[in-house]
Amino acid sequence: MAEGEFEIIARYFSRSSADRDVLVGIGDDAAVVQASGALAVAVDTLVEDVHFPLGLPAEAVGYRVLAVNLSDMAAMAAQPRWCTLALTLPEPDDSWLQGFADGLFGLADRHSVSLIGGDLTRGPLTVSLQIFGTLNPAAMLTRGGGHVGDDIYVTGTLGDSAAGLMLIKEGAGNKGPEHAALQERFLWPEARVIAGRALGPIASAGIDISDGLLADLGHLCHASGCGASVDVERLPLSAELLSVCPPTIAEAYALSGGDDYELCFTAAPSQAQTVEAVLAGVGCPARRIGRLVGGSGVECRRDGEVFDPVSSGYQHFR
């Protein structure tokens, strides 16, 4: 006989929290936290075969659902504190649950995030995690704070994750360290939480890159009431990405591939040295890739000439 809902929660998900601000944790009708000040709240859902390929290891699923939410906290310059989990499962499977919990808690522990509640239901595999973070409203990042003339930056390198996902879907097997590194980028995304916190007081606007640079920078532009001009020669491309595809394909991945979970942010040109110093201080690489301009939408330039990139990002319902 299958285990009941409550046994599963007790076995895999109930852990005591060392966080003294958790007044009531898992096991009551609601969790209760002691919140003082502004609280950032985000929720992201992963659906099998939509947001991750069928058969993705459970540990990677548990890791991923927290990582993508941590990335939302990073994009607001919030300090992640607590999360809740709404897990819908076709049937209870011990090894899947153990792997999922290992992936989730492994990452949660690294960020001192406590799982304080949730709901476990039966149905098609759907994983929804909600995260709560504290922030200083005077130093939060929003999409809408950019001004014409601000520099546009991205952290890390772009396009690796989308290329890695393609390699996973192709089942290419072991084709060397570059292939492996790209697949790792998809499987274990690193949210830029510390960089986001550091940028809060400096950057004018920010967003995380989940749907592709063009799409997400487009959201930032829309919210800031301006346009953007991106110099594609300045896109940060990894050696691994350039080793598996021609530069134009790598560029397309960087512009339109999703799942990078890097930050795209803007700052006044007068802040350039501060941005560089602060990010160097937290060990986060970043590159200026363009500038906010008048008008609307994102234009791409190569050698100073505007051109039309192939795709304009990824939307779940297109």
Neighbours of 247 (CB within 10 A): 13
By C-beta, is 40 or 168 nearer to a second copy?
40
Kindly state whether residue 126 participates in binding a second copy, applying the rule CB under 8 A. Answer: yes
Q: Is residue 150 classed as helix, strand or coil in its secondary structure?
A: coil
Using the contact rule CB under 8 A, the part of the chain among 54-62, 137-145, 170-178, 248-256 near a second copy is 137-145
DSSP symbols for 179-227? HHHHHHHHHS----HHHHHHHTTT-SEEEE-SS-HHHHHHHHHHHHTSE
The burial of 30, by beta-carbon neighbours within 10 Å (0-12 exposed, 13-18 middle, 19 or more buried), is given as exposed
Distances 61 to 48, 56, 87, 146, 284 between C-alpha atoms, Å: 9, 7, 11, 34, 25
Kindly state whether residue 279 participates in binding a second copy, applying the rule CB under 8 A. Answer: no
Which two structure tokens, joined as six digits, stand for 204?
Answer: 């004018």
- State which H helix or E strand residue 80 sits in: strand 79-89
C-beta separation of 265 from 203 below 8 A:
yes
Name residues whose C-beta falls within 8 Å of residue 290's C-beta, 6 or more positions apart in sequence: 151, 152, 228, 229, 230, 231, 234, 301
Kindly state whether residue 10 participates in binding a second copy, applying the rule CB under 8 A. Answer: no
Kindly state whether residue 133 participates in binding a second copy, applying the rule CB under 8 A. Answer: yes
State the minimum distance, in angstroms, from the CB of residue 313 to a second copy: 10
Kindly state whether residue 98 participates in binding a second copy, applying the rule CB under 8 A. Answer: no
Identified binder of a second copy from the candidate list 11, 19, 53, 88, rule CB under 8 A: 88
Kindly state whether residue 283 participates in binding a second copy, applying the rule CB under 8 A. Answer: no
Kindly state whether residue 315 participates in binding a second copy, applying the rule CB under 8 A. Answer: yes
24-53 residues in contact with a second copy (CB under 8 A) are: 24, 27-51
Which one-letter DSSP state was computed for residue 67?
H
61-80 residues in contact with a second copy (CB under 8 A) are: 71-73, 75-76, 78
Identified binder of a second copy from the candidate list 2, 172, 272, 280, rule CB under 8 A: 2
Kindly state whether residue 122 participates in binding a second copy, applying the rule CB under 8 A. Answer: yes
Kindly state whether residue 254 participates in binding a second copy, applying the rule CB under 8 A. Answer: no
Distances 142 to 46, 151, 211 between C-alpha atoms, Å: 24, 16, 17
Identified binder of a second copy from the candidate list 106, 144, 176, 269, rule CB under 8 A: 144
Using the contact rule CB under 8 A, the part of the chain among 12-20, 125-133, 284-292, 295-303 near a second copy is 125-133
Report the candidate in 203, 212, 162, 217 with the shortest Cα–Cα distance to residue 313.
212
Identified binder of a second copy from the candidate list 93, 110, 112, 124, rule CB under 8 A: 124
By C-beta, is 114 or 238 nearer to a second copy?
114
State the minimum distance, in angstroms, from the CB of residue 304 to a second copy: 31
By C-beta, is 161 or 224 nearer to a second copy?
224
Strand 205-208 to 286-293 pairing: unpaired
By C-beta, is 69 or 157 nearer to a second copy?
69
Using the contact rule CB under 8 A, the part of the chain among 96-104, 120-128, 163-171, 278-286 near a second copy is 120-128
C-beta separation of 217 from 264 below 8 A:
yes
Distances 11 to 24, 31, 97, 120 between C-alpha atoms, Å: 18, 18, 10, 13
By C-beta, is 82 or 105 nearer to a second copy?
82
State the minimum distance, in angstroms, from the CB of residue 261 to a second copy: 11
163-222 residues in contact with a second copy (CB under 8 A) are: 206-208, 219
By C-beta, is 123 or 283 nearer to a second copy?
123
